[in-house]
Structure 1
Amino acid sequence: MPIRSTNLHLVSDSTGETLNSIARATLSRFDDPHVVHHRWSLIRSRLQLDRVLDGIESEPGPVLFTLVDRSLRLALEEHCRRLGLECLSPLEPVMELLQNALGERAREKRGAQHVMDADYFRRIDAMHYVLAHDDGQGTAGIAEADVCIVGVSRSSKTPTCFYLANRGIKAANVPLVPGAPLPPELETAPCPVVGLHIETNALIEIRRHRLKLIGAHGVHHDTTDYVDHEAVKAEIQAARRLCTTHGWPVIDVTRRSIEETAATVLQLMEAWHARRGRAAQAHQPEDPAAGVLKAGA
């Protein structure tokens, strides 16, 4: 029986990242969906929309859109209605809910989430920081970090740090190397330190794949300590003990995606700052005027 595929049209007047994320998150709930994506981005004129409408008509399928221009939106909806196709703006229900909650109308502005504001430049700054402090580089800069990620080689520290940088987080990546001392800056880091743990067999598989990619000529993949089962197991255990000794929380990344790991890091950062805030309040000296004010009340 032939596999039936579905066309899915994503129409946006901006980059289309929001629709891509929504479609990806939704389709992940289906078992092996056969969907052909048609991405139409930066659609801001009727001429551009006409090209989209022709594409939808030639390869019919449901349409998801984010269009600020009302005339373009109505034209797209009317065209889909004429063809008998489902057409939906996934942000509309959310927009309506927030407008009711905030008591004001949302601005009609294309790509509002992509403006070059302070948040944008914070993300760029964080990306530069991660590049300069990847894999133990520039340890003196740990003092500027928002979080330090530690772990053995190939435990997904780098991709996690880059994902966090896209959220504006300066993440320092410090490898835990057998026999090598910790950088002194890490011992006194003014930010949370989070360890990444991975199971032995999973790490060995990743490292073997890495050796093949870089063409490690002359390296016996089954005998080098880098992929030797007992050596890798001991390396992981030593890293785990080190984190426990320092009181650093550890995330098991064996079956986690980078996004899930980063989300957990953000939760641990919030918890760390909350504890620091409570500790600061507990040690805050009492206002000497408080007793006088109470007495005169």
Structure 2
Amino acid sequence: MQKTLTLHLVSEATGQTLDSVARACIAQFPNTDVRLRHWNLVRTQIQLRRVLRNIARERGPVMSSLTDPTLQADMEAGCASLQVRLLDVLDNALHFLTEETGEKATRHPGGQYIMDENYYQRIEAMHYVLAHDDGQEVKGLDNADVILVGVSRVSKTPTCFYLANRGLKAANVPLVMGIEPPDSLFSTKKPVVGLTIDPERLIEIRRNRLSQMVPGKHHATAVADYAYVDLEKVKEELHWARRLCRRHNWPVIDVTRRSIEETSAAILDLIEGA
């Protein structure tokens, strides 16, 4: 029988860091159904009291990334009163870095979200991805940090957006069998990375996509007639794309069993190792 656990995440900022840590940990406990409750932008004692009332109504352990010492103390007292466990995910890391740097932590809420040069770099990268998605604006490929190529539905676009959030300008160019890619793709000095996938997995993704697009109640029959999802044609398409990448010495990443994050990490390794 699967166990159910309510886990409260309390943050002074957007809660993204805390959510990422919690989900990374939760993934290691497949036999427990963990239900997350997010309490973000908690910066006053009034807001914290409201959070504690909600925790009292739906009891469960608490993970906190509060940095303000007063709020931290109130959070500890509140959890002790409710007899629920509390883990401060930042405290040990802050103590560790204080000892290593000799500098006292500022304890500034949301300090990682300041609008500095890196912030504007990410915004610029996001604009670039929007302008250069799916083969648009191929004349601007020389401004990219990386160019992704691959057949339809191999996760080029979401990977580009993830890379943009890391500050990289990522363009993507679709490879369509029978249509020559743009000349600028072959002349650019920027790194080009091919994405590929298992043909059966690709067909599954494409069928799901087509089922949302084809009108009428008999869309399954219509989908079956598409060469887009014919196994032999998809195998041929993927083989052609791999040959193209090999001919131009573009590294290829198989995304079949990779998340967007894992694919992006592999791309970053390729770029940094170039």
Task: Report the TM-score range of the alignment, normalised by the length of the smaller protein.
Answer: over 0.9
Aligned 1:180-195 pairs, distance under 5 A: 180-195=179-194
The Cα of 1:35 is off from its aligned counterpart by: 2.0
Answering whether residue 124 of structure 2 is matched by residue 113 of structure 1, we say no
Aligned residue in 2 for 1:22: 21
Unaligned 5+ segments in structure 1 are 273-297
Matched letter for residue 155 of structure 1: V
Task: Give the SS at the match of 2:265.
Answer: helix
The Cα of 1:230 is off from its aligned counterpart by: 1.4
Aligned residue in 1 for 2:78: 79
Aligned residue in 1 for 2:153: 154
The Cα of 1:116 is off from its aligned counterpart by: 1.1
Matched letter for residue 270 of structure 2: L
Task: Give the one of 237, 251, 266 matched to 1:235.
Answer: 237
Tell me how far apart the structure 2 counterparts of residues 112 and 50 of structure 1 sit (CA, whole Å).
23
Tell me how far apart the structure 2 counterparts of residues 183 and 79 of structure 1 sit (CA, whole Å).
62
Tell me how far apart the structure 2 counterparts of residues 237 and 216 of structure 1 sit (CA, whole Å).
31
Change (3 A) 1:75 1:255: same
Give CA deviations for 1:102-123 in whole Å, capped at 9, x if unaligned.
2212212110111111111111
Aligned 1:256-275 pairs, distance under 5 A: 256-272=258-274
The Cα of 1:216 is off from its aligned counterpart by: 5.9
Please, what is the CA RMSD of the aligned residues?
1.5
Matched letter for residue 160 of structure 1: T
Tell me how far apart the structure 2 counterparts of residues 4 and 203 of structure 1 sit (CA, whole Å).
34
After TM superposition, what 4+ stretches of structure 1 lie above 3 angstroms from structure 2?
216-220
Give CA deviations for 1:236-271 in whole Å, capped at 9, x if unaligned.
001000111111100001111111101101100101
Task: Give the SS at the match of 1:226.
Answer: helix
Aligned residue in 2 for 1:245: 247
Tell me how far apart the structure 2 counterparts of residues 72 and 102 of structure 1 sit (CA, whole Å).
25
Give CA deviations for 1:6-35 in whole Å, capped at 9, x if unaligned.
221111111111111111110011114222
Tell me how far apart the structure 2 counterparts of residues 228 and 236 of structure 1 sit (CA, whole Å).
12
What's the % identity of the aligned pairs? Answer: 51
Query: Which has the larger Rg?
Result: 1
Aligned residue in 2 for 1:223: 225
Aligned residue in 1 for 2:195: 196
Tell me how far apart the structure 2 counterparts of residues 246 and 33 of structure 1 sit (CA, whole Å).
48
Tell me how far apart the structure 2 counterparts of residues 221 and 62 of structure 1 sit (CA, whole Å).
47
Unaligned 5+ segments in structure 2 are none
Aligned residue in 2 for 1:55: 54
Tell me how far apart the structure 2 counterparts of residues 221 and 7 of structure 1 sit (CA, whole Å).
41
Kept after mapping to 1: 8 A contact 2:3/2:31: no
Tell me how far apart the structure 1 counterparts of residues 141 and 226 of structure 2 sit (CA, whole Å).
32
- In the superposition, the TM-score normalised over structure 2's length comes to 0.94
Give CA deviations for 1:26-59 in whole Å, capped at 9, x if unaligned.
0011114222222111111111111112112222
Aligned residue in 2 for 1:275: none
Tell me how far apart the structure 2 counterparts of residues 36 and 204 of structure 1 sit (CA, whole Å).
32
Tell me how far apart the structure 1 counterparts of residues 232 and 6 of structure 2 sit (CA, whole Å).
50
Tell me how far apart the structure 2 counterparts of residues 178 and 37 of structure 1 sit (CA, whole Å).
45
Kept after mapping to 1: 8 A contact 2:3/2:32: no
Kept after mapping to 1: 8 A contact 2:132/2:171: yes
Aligned residue in 2 for 1:179: 178
The Cα of 1:215 is off from its aligned counterpart by: 1.7
Tell me how far apart the structure 1 counterparts of residues 104 and 171 of structure 2 sit (CA, whole Å).
41
Kept after mapping to 1: 8 A contact 2:79/2:85: yes
Tell me how far apart the structure 1 counterparts of residues 58 and 210 of structure 2 sit (CA, whole Å).
44
- In the superposition, the TM-score normalised over structure 1's length comes to 0.87
Aligned residue in 2 for 1:205: 204
Tell me how far apart the structure 2 counterparts of residues 228 and 258 of structure 1 sit (CA, whole Å).
25
